[in-house]
Amino acid sequence: MMGKQTEGGFKLEQRHGKARVRVARVWRNKPDGPHVIVEWCVSISLLSECLTAYTRGDNSDIVATDTMKNTVYAKAKECVEQVSVEDFAVLLAKHFTSLYQQVTCAIVNIVEKPWERVSVDGETHEHGFKLGSERHTTEVILEKSGALRMTSGIEGLAVLKTTKAQKEVTKRNIIMCKDTDIISLPLPLNMPRRIRSMILNTHLLHHCLKSGFEGFIRDKYTALPDTRERILATEITASWRYLYESIFSIPLKPLYFTERYLNVKKVLTDTFYGPPKEGIYSPSVQSTLYDMAKTVLKSFPDIAAVQLKMPNLHFLPVNLSNKDGTIVKFEDDVYVPTDEPHGSIQATLSRLWSKM
């Protein structure tokens, strides 16, 4: 997104701002209550009518990026009560679009560092924190008119499931699951392919197996065997767009968006893992990604669209041998974890009736 102006037969698209302003805010409101700390890395971009700064060296319409930086600290100070990262982004964007006549649109991105309260001897600590892993992000785009585009997200949410077929499954067997027991029966040899494939794709069978990848296109360059047993590991980057399209329609409930963030994260991870005992079969990263995105849209009516980036971080089977024979034979046990190269899988799922 850029501010556009024309002069002398040229079109100029421009924006300016301050990137990576780091601020921490502590709230010690209640005399004996626990302290709260947030650490934010704030980036601001303003679309503004400041053409002459580019064309004539006239800075009279420029909001100094140094002022933008100072505004972050001043507004953090003004937040006497704890605010969500989204509310802080909105508050900044409102400030820039309302105070400066030249500013037509403000874009505020914030990444929150995952400081988590610690427990000592099973008791939550009042003022001790440790750094977690995944980060809460937000982007607020606010126009002078009050038109709003608001997204939240998660970065660096690393998840993995080790999965184990409880018994070797071959295309010659019917596998039936009853809780954790598996009964294996030979498939009749004369069974039509269509019926055999229907049986092998039953939900029941998928229940026994947790992650696989098979049936993909095979050609002369394909080396990957079909598998019904693999480690599924990824580092989720998610972002979801809220339906609130005006500054006046945002929920006013304190920490509403913090709660939403925690709930979306839970839905994403719960859907990835499946129930604790049985898990859930993943026929591909694509399918698991789709289930995760769909569950988010079904669970949260104020989310219009969700984007998921889920790199497939491969765990390669180890098979080693030398002239004397086998050193390590892979039996779903020893792997080389890798992150390069990785499969790169991403998709956006939106409600049909929502504007994207």
Ligand X SMILES: O=c1[nH]c(=O)c2[nH]c(=O)[nH]c2[nH]1
DSSP, residue by residue, 202-250: -HHHHHH--B-B-S----TT--PPPBS---EEEEEEEEEEES--BGGGS
Is 312 near ligand X (CB under 6 A)?
yes
Is 291 near ligand X (CB under 6 A)?
no
The helix-helix angle for 85-99 and 65-78 (nearest 10°) equals 130
Task: Tell me the two tokens of residue 159.
Answer: 């998840």
Stretch that binds ligand X, among 154-162, 191-199, 266-274, 278-286 (CB under 6 A): 278-286
In the complex, minimum distance from the CB of residue 148 to ligand X, in angstroms, rounded to a whole number: 36
Q: Tokens 């893992």 correspond to what residue?
A: 273
Q: First CA to last CA across the chain, in angstroms?
A: 15
Is 163 near ligand X (CB under 6 A)?
no
Catalytic residue, chosen from 35, 52, 65, 342, is: 65
Among 40, 213, 240, 261, binds ligand X (CB under 6 A): 213
Determine whether the annotation assigns residue 201 to a binding site. no
Q: How many residues bind ligand X (CB under 6 A)?
A: 7
Judged by DSSP in three states, 350 sits in: strand
The helix-helix angle for 285-299 and 256-273 (nearest 10°) equals 140
Determine whether the annotation assigns residue 159 to a binding site. no
Q: How far is CA 196 from CA 142, 150, 170, 174, 201, in A?
A: 56, 48, 12, 9, 9
DSSP, residue by residue, 282-319: BS-HHHHHHHHHHHHHHH-TTEEEEEEE--B--EEEP-
Instruction: Determine whether 265 is an active site residue.
Output: no
Is 269 near ligand X (CB under 6 A)?
no
Q: Which is nearer to ligand X, 224 or 252 (CB)?
A: 224
Q: How many helices, marked H, and strands, marked E, lie in the chain?
A: 7, 18
Stretch that binds ligand X, among 57-65, 163-171, 191-199, 283-291 (CB under 6 A): 283-291
Catalytic residue, chosen from 75, 136, 309, 314, is: 314
Is 224 near ligand X (CB under 6 A)?
yes
Q: Which is nearer to ligand X, 138 or 284 (CB)?
A: 284
Q: Which is nearer to ligand X, 104 or 286 (CB)?
A: 286
In the complex, minimum distance from the CB of residue 230 to ligand X, in angstroms, rounded to a whole number: 8
Is 280 near ligand X (CB under 6 A)?
no
Q: Which of residues 106-125 bind ligand X (CB under 6 A)?
A: none
Instruction: Determine whether 207 is an active site residue.
Output: no
* Of 47, 39, 176, the residue nearest 113 (C-alpha): 39
Is 285 near ligand X (CB under 6 A)?
yes
Q: Which is nearer to ligand X, 111 or 310 (CB)?
A: 310
The helix-helix angle for 85-99 and 256-273 (nearest 10°) equals 130
Is 343 near ligand X (CB under 6 A)?
yes
**Is the Cβ–Cβ distance between 43 and 109 less than 8 Å?**
yes
Q: Which is nearer to ligand X, 224 or 352 (CB)?
A: 224
Q: How far is CA 99 from CA 93, 95, 102, 104, 141, in A?
A: 10, 6, 9, 11, 16
What residues have CB less than 8 Å from 244, skipping those under 6 apart? Answer: 148, 150, 250, 251, 302
Is 146 near ligand X (CB under 6 A)?
no
Is 157 near ligand X (CB under 6 A)?
no
DSSP, residue by residue, 151-199: EEEEEEEEEEE----SS---TTEEEEEETTEEEEEEPPTT--HHHHHHH
In the complex, minimum distance from the CB of residue 216 to ligand X, in angstroms, rounded to a whole number: 7
Determine whether the annotation assigns residue 66 to a binding site. yes
Q: Which is nearer to ligand X, 214 or 278 (CB)?
A: 214
Instruction: Determine whether 65 is an active site residue.
Output: yes
Binding-site positions for O2 read 65, 312
Binding site for ligand X (CB under 6 A): 213, 224, 284-286, 312, 343
Residues marked active site are found at: 18, 65, 314
Binding-site positions for urate read 65-66, 213, 230, 285-286, 312
Binding-site positions read 65-66, 213, 230, 285-286, 312
Binding-site positions for 5-hydroxyisourate read 65-66, 213, 230, 285-286, 312
